[in-house]
Structure 1
Amino acid sequence: MVDAARVEPVGALEVACDESGYEGEKLVGGVTDVFAHASVCISEADAAACVAELRRRIRSPATMYKATHLLRSKHRAVLLWLLGDDGPLLGNARVFLVDKTYFLADALVTWLGARPELTRFLYDASRRTAEAEAFLIAANDFLRITLRDEQPVVSPLDPLLPAIVRAVEYWGAGGRPVAVAHDRQTTLSPERVRTLRAANFAGLEQVDSFTDSRVQVADFLAGVARKIASDQLKGSDDAEVSALLRPYVDPASIWIDNASWSRLTGSPWQQPKYGGIVE
């Protein structure tokens, strides 16, 4: 089924996207602390070959392979192949990371009109004390209810559309229009897609990850990146895998923790600059 916002411009570069750790507007107190959005620019034939190779190497009877298969210790060599020089993704994929606690703290401070320095204070406090964490959980619930009353087309608590904007910005940096094939999400309504204001955005089509190998490959990368980034936030460093992930991590990711960012990217943290949306 083609989305109403889909456009078919001549010469558009099509990238396939999927995410991991998405819980809508629930940013804290949920299942995941990191949101990862992966975009890949490979052909369907190459993606199908990648999935087939993963099946050959992993040999699981599962109908649908997920990142969890790659993250099992017995399949470490397969993960290293996928991310490494001999795999199909290097130079053809990108992953945008969001520390969901930081994303919430920033959204809350912006909504309150408070001084930006409060964002760092709230973030650091929530990681040190249960009371501060409970405050952010309550603030998250409050904002979700308040924003429903205000009825914005795109919620400032939803990291998905900013992630798509960033993918279009990255792949369209040379001026070529970019069309997105994305795994189906109920939040990607035609009205919300039309609010995207990224240079060279050519449209979006929602596809079934079960039948689109490109989206399956994006799912692998997103799931792996989310787990690695989440472990790094907790201080658990897998240096070998983190080093292989570095070429894929978008420097414009929404992050603030310097220690984990340095391990993920090999560079000190800088204030992130990510694409915006227009309601």
Structure 2
Amino acid sequence: MTATAPLVVACDESGNDGENMLSGRSTVFAHASVTLSPDHAAELMDEIRARTRSQATELKSRTILQPRHQGAAKWLLSHPSIEGSASVHLTHKKYFVVSKLFDSTAEELAHELGEDIYETGVALAGANLLFFLAPQSYGTEWDRLLMTFQRFMRAEDVVQAQEYLARLIRSMVELLADGDALARDVLGTVFAGFGHLGSLSKLQLGEGVEERLRTMDPLISAVGAAVHFWASISGRPVELVHDAAKVLTPVKVEWAKRFLAHPEGIAPSRQGLASELIDVRLVNSQDDPRVQVADLIAGIGRIVGESMVHEQQHPLGLSLAPMVSGASLWPIRENMNVEKAREAMLSQF
């Protein structure tokens, strides 16, 4: 039994297209978490309603994201009760797919050989090298390969998975035939680890496990990042109150508890970075003002992130910056350098 009272963290997300990362409605997934008390959250929501003149029973982020309510959004982000009580984890969806491709192949191969490329920074550098160099090297063919990988990961049955894997192999061989491509070396390490995709596919299809894995759903990794963040800065176990989400089944919550408690199972370098997740309570956001505040921050995070994808500065970007998680899944050119990538990995923990 846990002796320390858990820290209650309320969460919501924006831009969720499930495992459809490449052709959904949004290019960015944002997951916000807050540690506000219900009373403080209710006061904030009352003030936001007054500032936006909203009569809605539940004020959603689409209201505060209207240009005419930008002042209300800035007021929320700069409110004293929000400082130190809110975090938003951003996921660049295309980068997420590239990282998943690298982790599912090159990283698995390195792990099999006894190498922890998370600790050395090679994993992060490899994903960034692929993200920035492959489009220059292969153009639209690279996008087609990523889409084939996504379809492979989302296959409905073994036959479909094998069909997409065969297409993926053909695409890789064609790209690797270009000996002058800038991304050829790093792409070669990915291809060398293709033998691990078969076992991953079985887990994605639910073979030998209690239910299907959904590793292409960014909500799962974002929840893990939120728990680790709040547990690390508070020194307390965490209980999540989360807006209803189909992917957060009891089985997946138990998996999350286990992996957070034993992160060294993912990479030896994570030894000593355990976090305790007590439970995940799914609620109707209409009934919890803390989740409503998280919804507003997640919505702001998504729209700011989408501006960043298009290399534009959003008016709310500077106000949001202090609460953006350092563990956000975002491409950074400097991280193509292994040493910079290693420093970035260490700073997350």
Normalising by the residue count of structure 2, what TM-score does the alignment of the two structures yield? 0.67
Q: Distance in 2 between matches of 1:167 and 1:118?
A: 25
**Higher mean Cα deviation, 107-116 or 36-45?**
107-116
Aligned equivalent of 2:317: 242
**Offset of 1:257 from its aligned partner?**
3.3
Equivalent residue number for residue 29 of structure 2: 35
Distance 1:68 1:272, change over 3 A: farther
- Larger helix proportion of the pair: 2
What is the aligned counterpart of 1:162 among 217, 221, 226? 221
Q: In 2 relative to 1, CA 8–60 (structure 1 residues): closer, same or farther, beyond 3 Å?
A: farther
Q: Is the 8 A contact 1:81 1:87 kept in 2?
A: no
2:314 equivalent to 1:254: no
Of 282, 289, 299 in structure 2, the residue corresponding to residue 206 of structure 1 is 282
Partners in 1 of 2:346 and 2:251 — Cα distance?
A: 25
Q: Which moved more, 1:132-141 or 1:146-155?
A: 146-155
Q: Structure 1 residues 157 and 135 mapped into 2: Cα distance closer, same or farther (>3 Å)?
A: same
Displacement of 1:130 in angstroms is 3.4
C-alpha separation in 2, matches of 1:144 and 1:37: 22
**Residue of structure 1 in register with 2:100 after alignment:** 107
Superposed CA deviations along residues 85-134 of structure 1, whole A, max 9, x for unmatched, are x3531211001111111111111122233785663354234489333223
Contact 2:7–2:236 under 8 Å retained in 1:
yes
Which of 170, 193, 196 is the aligned partner of 2:253? 193
Structure 1 counterpart of 2:60:
66
- Contact in 1 for aligned 2:19/2:217 (Cα 8 Å): yes
Cα distance in 1 for partners of 2:85, 2:130 equals: 36
SS at match of 1:57: helix
Match of 1:130 among 135, 140, 151: 140
Worse-matched range after superposition: 129-138 or 64-73? 129-138
SS at match of 2:255: coil
1:45 Cα deviation from its structure 2 partner: 0.8
Q: Which residue identity is paired with 2:279?
A: G
Tell me, which stretches of 5 or more residues in structure 1 are unaligned? Answer: 1-6, 260-267
Name the CA shift for 1:126/1:133 in 2 (closer, same or farther; >3 Å).
Answer: farther
Checking the alignment, whether the CA contact within 8 Å between 2:205 and 2:213 is kept in structure 1 is no
Deviations 1:123-160 (A, max 9, x none): 23448933322321222112211434354653321221
Q: Does 1:47 align with 2:41?
A: yes
Which amino acid is 1:189 matched to?
Answer: T
The reply to whether residue 219 of structure 1 matches residue 295 of structure 2 is yes
Contact 1:225–1:245 (CA<8 Å) still a contact in 2?
yes
Task: Please tell me whether Structure 1 or Structure 2 has the larger radius of gyration of its CA atoms.
Answer: 2
Identity %: 32
- CA RMSD in angstroms comes to 2.7
In structure 2, relative to structure 1, the CA distance for the partners of 1:271 and 1:100 (3 Å cut) is: farther
